[in-house]
Amino acid sequence: MSKFAALSGMITVSFLSTYAMIRYFNKIDGKLQELEASAPGCWINLSPPFAQDELSRMADELEVPADFLTDSLDIDERSRYEKEEEGRLILLNTPLLNEDSKDNEAYYITVPIGIVLTADHVVTISAVDNPVLKIFQEGRVKHFDPADQERFVLQLFEQVVFRFLACLKKLNHKRNFIEQELYNSSKSSELKQLLRIEKSLVYFVNSLSSNELLKMKMKRTNFLNIRDDETMMDLFEDVIIDNSQALEMSNVHTNILNGTMEAYASIISNNLNFVIQRLTLITLILMVPTLIASYYGMNIKNLPLADKEAGFYYIISISIVLSLVLAWFFRRRRMF
């Protein structure tokens, strides 16, 4: 099953029933404010639920291909950019907390954000209520101005990287906590949690790698037309460096987690071998009195000590002594 099966089902149902939530934002008197209708230079954000006819109408209104909007809702879409005469599209993968609480699902998944640049607007669209976009809606990004399209895109890139770093930090803390739990008891539940973290890191590595290739290509082709702006190029360089650091951190966490799981697998295997060895030695020690008792249970004549009145106690004592001698021998060989 795909990692986004539940999410895909939700989106499919939404397409059939209700309409997208369209919000307009612009900076007025130095403050980000929500508008009731579209205006030149405003930021248009489309959030779920979605309807196909609503997206088609929005594409016609913005004079952009409908694929620019529908492709952004494909949760398996890779990071890329596309340019048409009517506008430009940028698809960027972002981390998202997975609401599926199953033991075999990752803690975090990645979903794309579509950024559509037209002559008068910046349009963002995502298959979910993306927390990265909420940061901009709440005005928590410094020097954010929807009318400055190129800076808006770079700031969005920057906030996505920060979101990845924050999620990586949470995953690392969770991994450390689970390791401490495993020191006390090697339960399957802790190992399943480590597997969920590993899946999350795999998604992060793939998405960060795809995002890095996207940004490098955008820089090389001057997709944002900022090559002559030194300030914007410096910001773009910083975003690329931060993305590379997040990718490196993801790879480091992945390698550490793989090593941790291999180490615990070896520890569990060694503990199992030790338990089996002890049980085998105990079986050998108990075999001595069992063997003696078997001989005396044959109901034949002339067995040693058979005619002695205290023969039973002699046999028990001999069995105990032989068992103790065998246990001492194993102990001396450090097999216990």
CATH of residue 284's domain is: 1.20.58
Domain residue limits at 280 = 275-332
The CA distance from 178 to 180, in Å, is 5
Judge if 201 and 287 occupy the same domain.
no
Judge if 299 and 167 occupy the same domain.
no
* ∠ CA 73-24-54, rounded to 5°: 45
Judge if 122 and 36 occupy the same domain.
yes
Judge if 236 and 257 occupy the same domain.
yes
Domains: count for the chain: 2
Band (148; pLDDT cuts 50, 70, 90):
very high
The CA distance from 320 to 146, in Å, is 89
Q: How many CA atoms lie within 13 A of 93 on its CB side?
A: 24
Judge if 97 and 134 occupy the same domain.
yes
Residue that finishes a domain, picked among 226, 242, 269: 269
From the list 6, 217, 175, the residue with the least C-alpha distance to 96 is 6
From the list 127, 102, 131, 132, the residue with the least C-alpha distance to 10 is 127
Judge if 240 and 300 occupy the same domain.
no
Contact 205, 254 (CB under 8 A): yes
CATH number for the domain that contains residue 28: 3.30.460.20
Judge if 68 and 206 occupy the same domain.
yes
Judge if 84 and 184 occupy the same domain.
yes
| 6-54 tens-digit pLDDT | 444 434 333 333 445 889 999 988 888 999 888 989 999 998 887 778 8
| 58-100 tens-digit pLDDT | 889 888 998 999 999 988 899 999 998 878 999 999 999 998 7
Judge if 207 and 326 occupy the same domain.
no
Judge if 193 and 303 occupy the same domain.
no
| 239-295 tens-digit pLDDT | 999 999 999 999 999 999 888 888 777 777 887 888 898 888 889 888 888 888 888
Judge if 235 and 209 occupy the same domain.
yes
Residue that finishes a domain, picked among 269, 290, 322: 269
Residue that finishes a domain, picked among 269, 303, 319: 269
Judge if 305 and 260 occupy the same domain.
no
